[in-house]
Structure formats: structure tokens, C-alpha cells
Structure 1
Amino acid sequence: MNKSEIIDTVAAEHELTKVKAKEIVEQVFGFVGADLKKEGRFSFPDLGTFTVSQRAARTGRNPATGETIKIKASKNVRFKAAPALKELVAKVKVAK
């Protein structure tokens, strides 16, 4: 499901215009980003927890030239699924 599909679903489920549904969806995701920035963590029951993690600076290699390069320290978002989500996903049949 992508952003426009989420907006369409919210609009249909709650009898809203797509414009209003878009505002709500963007506000919800804005809350997630703001909380990650402020607290470094965002938890949503039955979905999981997003946390900010720090990656240290390190050396790496340019795969094209083999040259050693320095990779700067960075922050990334990690996600840990809640048990309810893990259980739900375990029941999904994967097409081969």
C-alpha cells in the first residue's frame, strides 16, 4: 500500500474528502517524525517501535575502483515489529 492508497482508504472509511484525508495522513506521519526527532523513539501498539540509531564513522571501499574511502557517522531509523504484527505476518502466504 502506498501513500495515495492510504489516503483513499481513510477517505472511504471515514466519509472524508481526499483533501481532508491527506491532511490527516500527513499529520500522523508528521507526528512520527517529530517524536523520533524529539525523543529518538516512536511506538505504536500492535505495529511496532521506531528508534533512531547511531552509526559510527568507518572506512569502506569504492566498489568501482577498490579505493579506501571514509564514511561519515550517520543516524538511521530502525523498526522492531510488535508481536501482534509478527504473528499476522507469519500467516501470510508468500507467492513463489
Structure 2
Amino acid sequence: MAKPMTKTQLVAALAEEMGTDKKSAGAALEAVCALITSEVSAGGAVTLPGVGKIYCRERPERMVRNPATGEQIKKEADKVVKMTIAKALKDSVNG
């Protein structure tokens, strides 16, 4: 498995793709990340065309087990961020 792309590599590739400098590309990336964070934390969802949909889902209260002691603990309800991958991305990876 290949190593994941770092933020620096992503900004450099984005700058090259956009035909702009790294500072502008970094600002664009930060703006997109901030927009996604604010929308998902407010309970909304963001669809990135060709990539997938990022959304927040609520998990109910449940019983979990401490693996070290085997003790059952009640875990409070919480929220988790999920991502559904777009079919176009799955197809490009598999075919």
C-alpha cells in the first residue's frame, strides 16, 4: 500500500493543477476544510462530486466492554462523522 499524501504534497499538487502558487492553493484547501467542518458539525452534509458524501450520524447510548477488565460500561449517545464513497471513485479504483 502506498504512503498517504501529506498536506504539503496535496497543496503542491493542487497548486500545479490550479496553475497558481502554493500559498493560494493552501488557502483554498483550508477554506474547503473549514467549510466542510462547519457544515458537518452543524448537522448537515457535504457532497464532493466524484469523491463522496461526508455527514454526521448520531449513535444511541449503548453498552461496551472494557477489553482489559471485561467490565461492561454504559457509553453515552454520541455523534460520529461518516463518509460514503462515490460510485465514480470506486469504479476508477477498481477498473
- Interval containing the TM-score (normalised by the shorter chain): 0.7 to 0.9
Counterpart amino acid of residue 85 in structure 1: L
Residue matched to 2:62: 58
The answer to whether 1:44 aligns with 2:48 is yes
Residue matched to 1:86: 90
The answer to whether 1:12 aligns with 2:13 is no
TM-superposition CA deviations, 1:35-91 (whole Å, max 9, x none): 212352111211111111011111111110111112121111111111111111212
Of all paired residues, the percent bearing the same amino acid is 33
3-state secondary structure, aligned to 1:66: coil
Q: 1:12, 1:45 → 2: CA distance?
A: 21
Q: 2:16, 2:91 → 1: CA distance?
A: 28
Counterpart amino acid of residue 44 in structure 2: G
* TM-score of the two chains, using structure 2 as the length reference: 0.82
- RMSD over aligned Cα atoms: 1.6
TM-superposition CA deviations, 1:4-49 (whole Å, max 9, x none): 2111112223343322221111111111112212352111211111
Structure 1 portions without partners, runs of 5+: 92-96
